[in-house]
Structure 1
Amino acid sequence: MDPYIYPNTNTLINKLDIRDEQRLIDVEAQLLIAAIVDITSIIHHFLFHELYSWAGKFRTVNISKSEQALNGLSVTYSDKDHILSDLKTVFSWSESKQWSYSNPSLVKVFSAFMIKL
């Protein structure tokens, strides 16, 4: 008997008491996406807080930055006034995707999500 699953199921025992395996996978994916945004801010703060007082915070001005890895080009950043709406758009887009391990395009979908984010 596996102590990590509900009896007679393949569903992991969880704090939300979700016993339907697909529903648990969906909720897990949604929580992962939300955590990625939070982690992105935390990581930005962690990496740059000793250099920039604003690390991990939303920008108040528009920026571009020459990136050596892009041969001097800049990443396309959201307009400062559209950061929240752009994030909502990304999450709305992500809700239409199949965040299941059985999705053969999961790696491509996740990569697209990270790029959009």
Structure 2
Amino acid sequence: MRDPYLYEDVPILKNILGIKSQELLDEAEADYVVYRLKDVVVNPLVGDYHTEHFLKMHQVIFQDIFDWAGSPRTISIYKEEDVLSGQSVEYSDQFDIVSDIHHVLKDMRDKEWDSFNLEELSNQFCNSLGVLWKIHPFREGNTRTTITFCCQFIEAQGIRINRRIFEENAVYVRTALVAYNAFFSDGSDFSKKEYLYKIVYDAFSGQ
């Protein structure tokens, strides 16, 4: 099945700017998205941390690039990962995206975050961040949206987190999220949770 998110003549995501060069699109996206991310830090996105709030976060961050920003993807996605020897994380089926987000966010809201010590806090945040990311609800922009949303959520609970550590180690963070979710429906489990835990622990401990 052809990917409807791509231009017909080049394998580039259709975008509001009409750019058909991956290099130029990456540059434009970086400029616009960095601006939006900084704005969200200064002016947190108002919401109740339910599904629509999460979808709105993506819309705000990527509104300048994609006309489908904030809308769940309509196709299955498969992303070959070097750390998984070319396999992909098993992301949510497109028909389950909304319900999966609903269940993950309910679990997040139900946790007694202020009762956790540093180790428990780091583990619980890793779990919430990891399972929400594994849904991969959007065709593009999942990691930035999920991390931004989860950081805003935890700060709304009165808990400080060093967001900059995620920004400065973006490649590591995404690889850690892949490793965290390296388990499959056939029962095989190659997950390595310690990598994500390490950077989350550092983010909470102020390192």
One-letter amino acid matched to 2:92: S
Shift of 1:38: 5.3
1:45 counterpart = 2:58: no
- 100, 103, 111: which one aligns with 2:116: 103
8 Å CA contact retained: 1:98, 1:106: no
Q: Identity of aligned pairs, percent? A: 30
Q: Which one has a larger percent helix, Structure 1 or Structure 2?
A: 2
Which of structures 1 and 2 has the bigger CA Rg? 1
8 Å CA contact retained: 2:56, 2:70: no
Shift of 1:96: 2.9
Residue of structure 2 equivalent to 1:64:
78
Shift of 1:41: 2.1
Q: Distance in 2 between matches of 1:41 and 1:56?
A: 5
Distance 1:69 1:56, change over 3 A: farther
Alpha-carbon RMSD? 3.2
Normalised TM-score (structure 1): 0.53
How many residues of Structure 1 are paired with residues of Structure 2 in the alignment?
A: 83
Structure 2: stretches of 5+ with no match in the other structure: 1-45, 133-207
Q: Distance in 2 between matches of 1:71 and 1:40?
A: 32
One-letter amino acid matched to 2:58: S
Specify which structure has the bigger relative contact order, considering alpha-carbon pairs within 8 angstroms and separated by 6 or more residues: 2
Residue of structure 2 equivalent to 1:113:
128
Residue of structure 2 equivalent to 1:93:
107
Distance 1:39 1:66, change over 3 A: farther
Normalised TM-score (structure 2): 0.32
- Name the SS for the 2:74 alignment partner: coil
Structure 1: stretches of 5+ with no match in the other structure: 1-30
One-letter amino acid matched to 1:103: F
